[in-house]
Amino acid sequence: DTGVSQNPRHKITKRGQNVTFRCDPISEHNRLYWYRQTLGQGPEFLTYFQNEAQLEKSRLLSDRFSAERPKGSFSTLEIQRTEQGDSAMYLCAPSPSGNTDTQYFGPGTRLTVL
Partner 1 sequence: TQLLEQSPQFLSIQEGENLTVYCNSSSVFSSLQWYRQEPGEGPVLLVTVVTGGEVKKLKRLTFQFGDARKDSSLHITAAQPGDTGLYLCAGAGNQGGKLIFGQGTELSVKP
The binder of partner 1 chosen from 20, 24, 87, 110 (CB under 8 A): 110
Give the nearer residue to partner 1 in terms of CB position, either 22 or 110: 110
Give the nearer residue to partner 1 in terms of CB position, either 18 or 97: 97
**At 49, phi and psi to the nearest 5?**
-120, 140
The binder of partner 1 chosen from 19, 29, 30, 48 (CB under 8 A): 48
Spatial neighbors of 27 by CB under 8 A, at least 6 apart, are 73
> Quick one: which segment of 14-22, 42-50, 62-70, 74-82 binds partner 1 (CB under 8 A)?
42-50
Burial class (CB in 10 A: 0-12, 13-18, 19+), 91: buried
When asked if residue 74 is in the footprint of partner 1 (CB under 8 A), the reply is: no
Neighbours of 82 (CB within 10 A): 21
Helix (H) or strand (E) holding 76: strand 75-79
The binder of partner 1 chosen from 30, 86, 108, 113 (CB under 8 A): 108
What's the rounded Cα separation, in Å, for the pair 1 and 40?
24
Using CB under 8 A, list all residues that contact partner 1.
2, 4, 6, 31, 33, 35, 40-45, 48, 55-56, 91, 93, 95, 100-108, 110
